[in-house]
Every structure is written in structure tokens, then in C-alpha cells.
Amino acid sequence: MSALPPSVERIELDELVCWRVQVGDGTLLVAQQGAQILHYQQGTQAPIIWLSEQARYQRGQSVRGGAPVCWPWFGGLTRNPAAVQAMHSNPASAPAHGNVRGLDWQLLGIDQHDGAVTLQFAFDSRKHPLPDWPHAAELQLDIRLDQQLHLELRSRNLGTQPLVLSQALHTYFAVSDIRDVRVHGLDGCRYIETLEDWQERQQQGALGFTGETDRIYLDTPTRLSIVDPGWQRRILLDARGSRSAVLWNPWIDKAKRLSQFAEDAWQRMLCIETANIWDDCVTLAPGASHSLCLSLSSEPL
């Protein structure tokens, strides 16, 4: 039986315009707001990307789950290097993870080629100035679905002064049970333990989860993987243009304080946020650009 041709469909979820894409047995759902991936699944296996059961599809609000884009800074701005803070005129009042995850992006085009579908979204700060961030920059996210899912987030400095950014593809992964999974590829990496006074430490072996986790890993390799014995699969993350990653799970107490998040949802998700943060921020000369790329796939154990 021959495979169905790729398809793209526009749908609306409550207040948000979304694009549903099918390529082979891969399905993808992307919200135009924030160019936020909401869902990615291969065939009948469990979704690779996690979306909260309590997700709300409202304008101006990032959806809990999927892959929000954090830009032009990651996390709390006042925790960023001075050069990133200096881009903003009031760092103490800046929202966590920057502004673009809750704003509408422009759909530049949908390309169907060689059995793959690519959606291109852009955000231009000249057309939509960000509050207290007076810089001319263009951000483009290309989302390509073939046998894998490929993301390329390109930042371009359109101004006349250097631009300094931190950023992340804040991907929520679906796991059978966080207590059983391991993340491989971090052995020997330095990390910042944000839960213990932002101390610098060093990872020994694979990373398992026994409590709230919120760490910035540095000098990360191009490949990280999530080994999930419950679902007998390995999720592979292949990154380019990034040497840092945030590993996050809120666990029991913080889960109760999160929006759009069921009390027990911490058991079923894990964020690995492919990033440029801490000593891996991006400095762009006038006219220069930078690409942060991530490819996702999975294989049976």
C-alpha cells in the first residue's frame, strides 16, 4: 500500500490558529502564536512531544507544553549575563523567557517538497516592537517534518549595534514515568544548579530524576538522548548552534504552582531545552545571523 501524500490543514483551537501536518505516519501540530509546536507523534507510538491536558489556547498566553520559543532572553532576565540585560531598558520588569512565545508570528510560507513539509514563521521586531527592548531583529523558525522533525531558529541583527541574546527551544518531551527515564550525553558536563544557589557542579554519568530539577548544562554535546524503558524507546535530540541545555522537571510542589498543569503531570513530562544561555549567549554584529537547530527522532530500545 502506498503512503498517503503529505497534508497540511488549518484548524482553530479556541482562540489560536494552528496548522496540522501529516507526513507518512508522522503528525505535527503548530500554533501560529509563538510559532509554537504543540504536538509531534510518529505512528501509533506515544507522542514524542508532551502537551498538557490542561492546555489553554488563548491569545497572549503561551500554551503549556509543546515547544515554546524563548527569545530574546531565556528565563529571568536578571539572571542573564550583563550584556543580555543591557539590551533591555528595565530588566527587573521583564517577563520570563522573553516575549515572543505569546505573540503572533507571520506565516511566511508552507513548502511541500521531496515528501517533506516545511512551515516557515517569522517575527520582526521592527513591525512589532518589543516593550523596553528597542532593537531591530528578525527571528525565523523553520519547522520541517520528514521522517524526523527539524527546527531551525534563525536570529538576524537588522540594527547598527551588536545584539546580545539568550534563547531556547523549550521542548517538553513525553515520558512514560519521569522516575524511570535517564538522559544520556551529559556525563562530565558542567552544570549550574539553579535550585542550590546557582552553584556550578559537574555531571557524573547519566541523569536520572528523583526530585525537582532545574539545571543549566554547559558545553553540551551535539546529541542528547532520553532512554525510556517504560515505552521501550529512545528519543534522540541532535542540536547545532547550541552548547547549553536546560533540564527541567517541576516535581510535586512546583507542579501545584504552574499554570495549565495537572497536579500529577510532572510524572509524564521532561523538558530538555536546547539553548544559548549563560556562557553560551549569542552576540550578533550588525547584519549577522545565528541558527539554533534541533532534530528530533526516536528508535526502539
By annotation, the residues acting in catalysis are: 170, 273
The distance of closest approach from Cβ of residue 277 to ligand BG6 in the complex, given in angstroms and rounded to an integer, is 10
Q: Which of 18, 48, 246, 265 binds ligand BG6 (CB under 6 A)?
A: 246
Does an H or E element contain 255, and which?
helix 251-257
Beta bridge partners of 113: 116
The span from the CA of 57 to the CA of 77, in Å, is 26
Q: Could you tell me the three cell numbers for 75? A: 528565563
Say if residues 296 and 235 touch (Cβ distance below 8 Å).
Answer: yes
**Closest to 141 measured CA to CA, from 129, 128, 130, 155:** 155
Does an H or E element contain 97, and which?
none
String of contacts with ligand BG6 for each residue 270-289, x by CB under 6 A = ---x----------------
Contact call for residue 248 and ligand BG6 (CB under 6 A): yes
Q: Could you tell me the three cell numbers for 211? A: 526530585
Say if residues 170 and 270 touch (Cβ distance below 8 Å).
Answer: no
The span from the CA of 261 to the CA of 190, in Å, is 30
Nearer to ligand BG6 (CB atom), residue 157 or residue 260: 260
String of contacts with ligand BG6 for each residue 179-218, x by CB under 6 A = -----------------------------------x----
Nearer to ligand BG6 (CB atom), residue 39 or residue 97: 97
| Residues from 4 through 63 that contact ligand BG6 (CB under 6 A) | none
Contact call for residue 75 and ligand BG6 (CB under 6 A): yes
Beta bridge partners of 137: 157
The distance of closest approach from Cβ of residue 188 to ligand BG6 in the complex, given in angstroms and rounded to an integer, is 22
* 187, 189, 217, 224, 250 from 201: Cα distances, Å: 12, 8, 9, 19, 20
The distance of closest approach from Cβ of residue 50 to ligand BG6 in the complex, given in angstroms and rounded to an integer, is 13
The distance of closest approach from Cβ of residue 95 to ligand BG6 in the complex, given in angstroms and rounded to an integer, is 8
| Residues from 109 through 168 that contact ligand BG6 (CB under 6 A) | none
Q: Could you tell me the three cell numbers for 66? A: 509543546
Say if residues 62 and 34 touch (Cβ distance below 8 Å).
Answer: yes
Q: Which of 79, 97, 135, 268 binds ligand BG6 (CB under 6 A)?
A: 97
Residues that bind ligand BG6 (CB under 6 A): 75, 96-97, 170, 214, 246, 248, 258, 273
